[in-house]
A and B are shown apart, each in its own frame.
Chain A
Amino acid sequence: MGSEALRITPLPQKALSTIQRPKLAIRIRSRVDLQIQERTVPPPPNSGDRPRGGSRTAGRKRAGGASGSSGGTLEVHLDSWLREFGPRGSEQLQAGSVAELLDALEGKYPRLRFKIRDETGSLRRYVRIFVDGEDVSATTGVATPLEGAHSIDILHSIAGG
């Protein structure tokens, strides 16, 4: 955060011509861009059977329910904006559901608390969670079971102006 100072003379026209604007680090990148640029591990073996990006209405049906760890290790990727509050790279965690995964992540990185979920436990409006490439944000959400899953992407959605 922060940028270099800018000296302004009291004469507007002259000052405007000599202005050196501070750097504004506002970056708006599409969800697709982020997936391509930030994925650091190969996609899971079955990812070729399902389109990347998933369907927001598809939901996710897995055996095992929302409780209990699958025992497998999940590769968790956060987008660059979230890295201000959490891990700078990918993270390997075990969890039986998205909620458990977020609990584990927030336990390890306390500044992530209430960034992905609000204080009622709901996903924030412009957060998208992909399980093996399938967007579960608007379907099974935090209750999504993770048995058999390999990869989790936590991204911000396209919004703003």
Chain B
Amino acid sequence: MKRDNKVRVLVGTRKGAYVVEGTAQRRKWTVGPVAHEGNEVYHVVADPRHPGDLYAAVNSGFWGPMVYRSRNFGKKWEEIPAPLMATSKSRTPAFDEQGNQNDVKRPIANIWHIEPGLASEPDVLYLGADPHLIFRSSDLGSSWEPIDAINNHPDRKNWGPGAGGACLHTILIDPRNAERLYIGMSAVGTFRTEDGGGHWAPKNKGVETPFLPEKFPETGQCVHHVAADSADPDTFYRQDHGGMYVSHNRMDSWTRIGKPLGDDFGFCVASPTSSPGRAYFVRLHGQARTTGEGHFQVYEWNDQRRAWRKLLSPKAFPGDYGVHREGIATDTLDPAGIYVGTTTGQLFVSPDAGKSWQLIPYGFPGIHSVSIANPAAT
């Protein structure tokens, strides 16, 4: 499909997927089309290598997890194979015949994240699922190969689920090297591979686990989400159960940056292309899991100045809002657009890197994920 100059906000909700279309000015928006009505949609993502292509992780409470693809920005969708489909009549799962590892005998519970590969690998997709599974497709989702070094990892017996499940929710690819991947798993932590998934090393040094007796274990951190810096692929921003962190060395070590905020709990983080060294977090009250200040707020981290800034006036949007791990996104325009979807169905948009904000006047179902299909590069 031909590229156009529209910005499309892809919204995954408790009851379906929405495509919200806007102009490059990002002041007027059109809601629709809507798809997968009634199903939990944990993630919708655009494939920038193939304009118009969208992928949706659809988790039906009745029929299980499914993957759908659209070739026309969401006007029509087709179901494509989901991973873990057995090829033999015995219906044996495609991996884990040892029977002694943690919960890999149970079926795939939910699909959490779909990540298109680099432009140099135009047919590659990665997919993260519960229980702590990652798959790779080299044919745009027609088939999936399990990445055994994670899916059969010898330490799986020690990997437990978080409250949202045993989610593998974050997959990041080094833009300079398709063999270097990073993943984030709830209640396990972040891992890095340098050989395309053959070997993985835990990368959680410096991340605190306030919910475990050991303060800084090698694994067991409940990472909630990670965003890469657009200008420096060695720099990452991390929202963890144990606070907000930054790494400048490919996740070899992490430094906590959220302490000045007091409670630095939260689920989501994003870093815009047009503002390197900036990251946006939505701080939540650690127990209430809402913004907890009586209003909607986004915090900007300036990594050069090592300083925080609030982006909204307390009077702008009163209320207590929850935001899930995929609930914030930024676009590639300058100034950056910031988009935040809440668990109660509000979609907040800033078209100017946080200077002004609008609430899209449409009540969505509870929002799981927000991502952007960006317009053609200018």
Partner of B107, one of A2, A10, A19, A119: A119
Which residues does chain A contribute within 8 Å of B105, judged by CB atoms? 120
- Given known contacts A119-B107, A121-B91, A8 and B30 CB-to-CB distance under 8 angstroms: yes
Which residues does chain A contribute within 8 Å of B305, judged by CB atoms? none
- Given known contacts A119-B91, A120-B105, A160 and B32 CB-to-CB distance under 8 angstroms: no
Q: In the complex, are the beta carbons of A159 and B82 less than 8 A apart? A: no
Please give the distance in Å from A25's CB to the nearest CB on chain B. 5
Partner of A5, one of B31, B63, B86: B31
Which residues does chain A contribute within 8 Å of B107, judged by CB atoms? 118-120, 122
- Given known contacts A8-B361, A115-B64, A118-B64, A22 and B93 CB-to-CB distance under 8 angstroms: no
Which residues does chain A contribute within 8 Å of B16, judged by CB atoms? 24
Please give the distance in Å from B179's CB to the nearest CB on chain A. 29
Which residues does chain A contribute within 8 Å of B89, judged by CB atoms? 103
A56→B37 CA distance, assembly (Å): 30
Q: In the complex, are the beta carbons of A85 and B37 less than 8 A apart? A: no
Which residues does chain B contribute within 8 Å of A116, judged by CB atoms? 63
Q: Does B172 touch A at the CB level, under 8 Å?
A: no
- Count: A-B pairs, CB below 8 Å: 103
Which residues does chain B contribute within 8 Å of A22, judged by CB atoms? 31-34
Chain A at the B interface: SS class: loop
Chain B at the A interface: SS class: loop
Q: In the complex, are the beta carbons of B32 and A10 less than 8 A apart? A: no
Q: Does B75 touch A at the CB level, under 8 Å?
A: yes
Q: In the complex, are the beta carbons of B31 and A6 less than 8 A apart? A: yes
A113→B358 CA distance, assembly (Å): 44
Q: In the complex, are the beta carbons of B32 and A85 less than 8 A apart? A: no
Query: What 1/0 mask marks residues of chain B from 1 to 44 whose CB sits below 8 Å from any chain A CB?
Result: 00000000000000110000100000111111111111000000
Q: Does A61 touch B at the CB level, under 8 Å?
A: no
Q: What residue in chain B is nearest A79 (Cβ atoms)?
A: B62
Please give the distance in Å from A91's CB to the nearest CB on chain B. 18
Which residues does chain B contribute within 8 Å of A9, judged by CB atoms? 28
Please give the distance in Å from B98's CB to the nearest CB on chain A. 15
Q: Which positions 46-87 of chain B face chain A at CB distance < 8 Å? A: 61-64, 74-77, 79, 82, 84-86
- Given known contacts A8-B31, A127-B62, A120 and B15 CB-to-CB distance under 8 angstroms: no
Interface range on chain A: under 10, 10 to 19, 20 to 34, or 35 or more? 35 or more
Q: Which of B30, B31, B35, B361 has the most CB of A within 10 A?
A: B361
Q: Does A1 touch B at the CB level, under 8 Å?
A: yes
Q: In the complex, are the beta carbons of B37 and A119 less than 8 A apart? A: no
Which residues does chain B contribute within 8 Å of A7, judged by CB atoms? 30
Q: In the complex, are the beta carbons of A113 and B85 less than 8 A apart? A: yes
Q: What residue in chain A is nearest B362 (Cβ atoms)?
A: A8
Please give the distance in Å from A99's CB to the nearest CB on chain B. 10
Which residues does chain A contribute within 8 Å of B62, judged by CB atoms? 81, 124, 126-127, 156, 159
Q: Which positions 242-259 of chain B face chain A at CB distance < 8 Å? A: none
Q: Does A15 touch B at the CB level, under 8 Å?
A: yes
- Chain A residues with a Cβ under 8 A of chain B: 1-12, 15-16, 19, 22, 24-27, 81-82, 85, 103, 111, 113-122, 124, 126-127, 156, 159-160
Told that A10-B358, A25-B38, A114-B64 touch, could you supply 15 new A-B pairs with CB distance under 8 A? A3-B33, A5-B30, A8-B29, A12-B359, A19-B362, A25-B37, A26-B38, A81-B63, A113-B85, A118-B107, A118-B108, A119-B91, A119-B93, A124-B62, A156-B62
A-B contact pairs, 9 of them (CB 8 A): A2-B76, A5-B30, A5-B31, A8-B31, A118-B107, A119-B91, A119-B107, A120-B93, A126-B62
List the 9 shortest-distance A-B pairs measured between CB atoms, nearest first.
Answer: A118-B107, A5-B32, A115-B63, A12-B361, A26-B38, A15-B361, A2-B33, A6-B31, A121-B91
